[in-house]
A and B are shown apart, each in its own frame.
Chain A
Amino acid sequence: MTAPTITSIRAGRIGDSPQRPDGRQKVTGEFAYSSDLWLDGMLWGATLRSPHPRARITGLDITGAVAMPGVFAVLTHEDVPGRETYGLERPDQPVLAIDQIRYQGEPVALVAADHPETARRAAGRIRVSYREEPPLADARAALAPGAPSVHPGGNLVRHVRVRRGDPDARAAVVVTGEYEVGMQDQAFLGPESGLAVPAADGGVDLFVATQWLHVDRDQVAASLGLDPDLVRITLGGVGGAFGAREDLSMQIHACLLALHTGKPVKMSYSREESFFGHVHRHPASMRYEHGCSAGGRLVYVKADIVLDGGAYMSSSPAVAANAATLGIGPYEVPNVVMDSYAVYTNNPPCGAMRGFGAVQACFGYESQMDKMAAALSMDPVEFRVRNAMREGSVMPTGQVVDSAAPVAELLRLVRDRPPPPARDTGDLRSLPGGVSNTTHGEAVVRGVGYGVSIKNVGFSEGFDDYSTARVRLELTGGEPSAQVHTAAAEVGQGLVTVLEQIVRSELGVERVAVLPADTTIGSAGSSSASRQTYVTGGAVRAACAEVRSQLLARAGDPAAGSPGNRPPGLAGAAGLGDLVALLGKPAEATVTWRHRPTAPLDPGTGQGQAHVQYAFAAHRAVVDVDTELGLVKVVEIATAQDVGKAMNPQAVEGQIHGGIAQGLGLAVMEEIQVAGGVVRNPSFTDYLIPTILDMPPVRLDMLELADPHAPYGLRGVGEPPAISSTPAIVAAIRDATGIPLTRIPVRPEHLTATQPDEGPDPPSAMIMGRNAPHRVPFDPRS
Chain B
Amino acid sequence: MTTRHPPGSPGSAAVEFLRPRSLSQALAAKAELQDALPIAGGTDVMVEINFGKRRPAALLDLTGVRELRGWQRDGALLRVGSGVTYTRLEAELAGLLPGLAMAARTVGSPQIRNRGTIGGNLGAASPAGDCHPVLLAAGAAVEAGSVRGARLIPADAFFLGPKRSALADDELITAVLVPPAPGPQQFAKVGTRNAMVIAVCSFALELRPGAGVGTGIGSAGPTPLRARDAEDFLAAELAGSGLWESREPLPGAVARRFGELAAAAARPVDDVRGSAAYRRHALSVLARRALGWAWDSYRKEGHLCG
Q: What is the interface of chain A, defined by CB distance below 8 A to chain B?
A: 1, 3, 32, 36-39, 44, 69-70, 113-118, 120-121, 207, 270, 272, 429, 432-440, 442, 628-631, 633, 668-669, 673, 680-681, 683, 685-686, 688, 690-694, 747-749, 752, 754-757
A residues near B277, Cβ cutoff 8 Å: 749, 754-757
Chain B, 255-301, CB within 8 A of any chain A CB: 270, 272-278, 280-282, 285-286, 289, 292-293
Would A633 and B194 count as touching, CB distance under 8 A? yes
Would B282 and A686 count as touching, CB distance under 8 A? no
Q: What is the interface of chain B, defined by CB distance below 8 A to chain A?
A: 1-4, 6, 9-11, 13, 50-52, 102, 105-106, 109, 186-198, 200, 270, 272-278, 280-282, 285-286, 289, 292-293
CA of A130 to CA of B198, assembled, Å: 35
CA of A121 to CA of B1, assembled, Å: 27
* Chain A residue with the shortest CB-CB distance to B13: A117
Instruction: Give the distance to chain B from A669, nearest Cβ to Cβ, in Å.
Output: 5
Given contacts A32-B1, A38-B1, A442-B289, contact A70 B10 (CB under 8 A): yes
Would B9 and A438 count as touching, CB distance under 8 A? no
Instruction: Give the distance to chain A from B54, nearest Cβ to Cβ, in Å.
Output: 13
* Chain A residue with the shortest CB-CB distance to B7: A115
A residues near B198, Cβ cutoff 8 Å: 685-686
A residues near B6, Cβ cutoff 8 Å: 44, 115-117
CA of A691 to CA of B195, assembled, Å: 7
23 interchain pairs, CB-CB under 8 A: A37-B1, A117-B6, A117-B9, A121-B10, A207-B1, A432-B194, A435-B105, A436-B188, A436-B191, A436-B197, A437-B106, A437-B187, A437-B188, A437-B189, A438-B190, A440-B289, A629-B190, A669-B192, A688-B193, A748-B274, A754-B277, A755-B277, A757-B277
Selected from A3, A438, A692, A756, the residue in CB contact (under 8 A) with B189 is: A438
A residues near B285, Cβ cutoff 8 Å: 628-629
Interface of chain A, helix or strand or loop or mixed? Answer: loop
* Chain A residue with the shortest CB-CB distance to B279: A754
* Chain A residue with the shortest CB-CB distance to B109: A691
B residues near A673, Cβ cutoff 8 Å: 272
Instruction: Give the distance to chain B from A601, nearest Cβ to Cβ, in Å.
Output: 39
Instruction: Give the distance to chain A from B82, nearest Cβ to Cβ, in Å.
Output: 24
* Chain B residue with the shortest CB-CB distance to A679: B272
* Chain B residue with the shortest CB-CB distance to A118: B10
9 closest Cβ pairs, A-B complex: A434-B194, A754-B278, A754-B277, A756-B275, A693-B195, A36-B3, A115-B10, A756-B270, A436-B189
Would B194 and A752 count as touching, CB distance under 8 A? no
Would B286 and A686 count as touching, CB distance under 8 A? no
* Chain B residue with the shortest CB-CB distance to A688: B193
Would A437 and B52 count as touching, CB distance under 8 A? no
A residues near B1, Cβ cutoff 8 Å: 1, 3, 32, 36-39, 207
Would B106 and A436 count as touching, CB distance under 8 A? yes
Selected from A32, A272, A435, the residue in CB contact (under 8 A) with B3 is: A32
Known A1-B1, A442-B289, A748-B278; further 18 A-B contacts with Cβ < 8 A: A37-B1, A39-B1, A117-B10, A433-B194, A434-B195, A436-B194, A437-B106, A437-B189, A673-B272, A686-B273, A688-B192, A688-B197, A691-B109, A748-B192, A755-B275, A756-B270, A756-B276, A756-B277
Would B11 and A435 count as touching, CB distance under 8 A? no
Would B293 and A690 count as touching, CB distance under 8 A? no
* Chain B residue with the shortest CB-CB distance to A634: B194
Would B3 and A629 count as touching, CB distance under 8 A? no
Given contacts A38-B3, A115-B10, A435-B105, contact A747 B51 (CB under 8 A): no
* Chain B residue with the shortest CB-CB distance to A4: B1
Would A749 and B274 count as touching, CB distance under 8 A? yes
Instruction: Give the distance to chain B from A423, nearest Cβ to Cβ, in Å.
Output: 13
Given contacts A70-B11, A442-B289, A748-B192, contact A754 B197 (CB under 8 A): no
A residues near B272, Cβ cutoff 8 Å: 673, 680-681, 686
Instruction: Give the distance to chain B from A38, nearest Cβ to Cβ, in Å.
Output: 5
B residues near A44, Cβ cutoff 8 Å: 6
